[in-house]
Structure 1
């Protein structure tokens, strides 16, 4: 499967231009690390979808819902700041019963 296709498919799910998603994921044009960069975002969306049951709502959550435990920044903001691990840790804590 082509990296461009994966980028386009994920961008469509998040309702954002592929160029914006590439920038968010830290993917430089022609970069070889596309798959690794997108894997983290896919993991976040998969966890959010698993918890909510709806891919569309998970995408909206990713872009718009402030995370109180992360200073009110969204998952989108945190990923853009290179702090995707904080989003994954937050989702794991919520999954284990912590308050959102």
Structure 2
């Protein structure tokens, strides 16, 4: 299941911005805003380390959430629509605010049985 998500967004060894946007059901402009990248840079230089790092953060969040929910589609819905307790924002909004690591930390606490 998780391998399917990663397979869906990869082009060879790279995370493909267009494929990730399609899988998350987001326009490219929204994905570029989440990743704090220029849309043109994202599409013209997808192999750039900065592009791969920022998209990799989002991919790690989705795959970690999918491992907890047991379903990648649920993980995507959670990412886009479920406000995190204590934050009052969705994981998508927190990533946009530059708080991807905090989302990953919250997921890690959940996996250890600690709930926010």
Q: TM-score, normalised by structure 1?
A: 0.89
Cα shift at 1:57: 0.8
Unaligned runs of 5+ in 2: 1-10, 43-47
2:69 paired with 1:52: yes
User: Would the alpha carbon gap of residues 16 and 4 (structure 1) be closer, same or farther in structure 2, given more than 3 Å must change?
Assistant: farther
Aligned-residue CA RMSD (Å): 2.0
Unaligned runs of 5+ in 1: none
Distance 2:73 2:23 in 1: 7
Deviation >2 Å, runs of 4+: 1-5
Q: Is the 8 A contact 1:13 1:56 kept in 2?
A: no
Q: Is the 8 A contact 1:62 1:76 kept in 2?
A: yes
Q: Is the 8 A contact 1:66 1:72 kept in 2?
A: yes
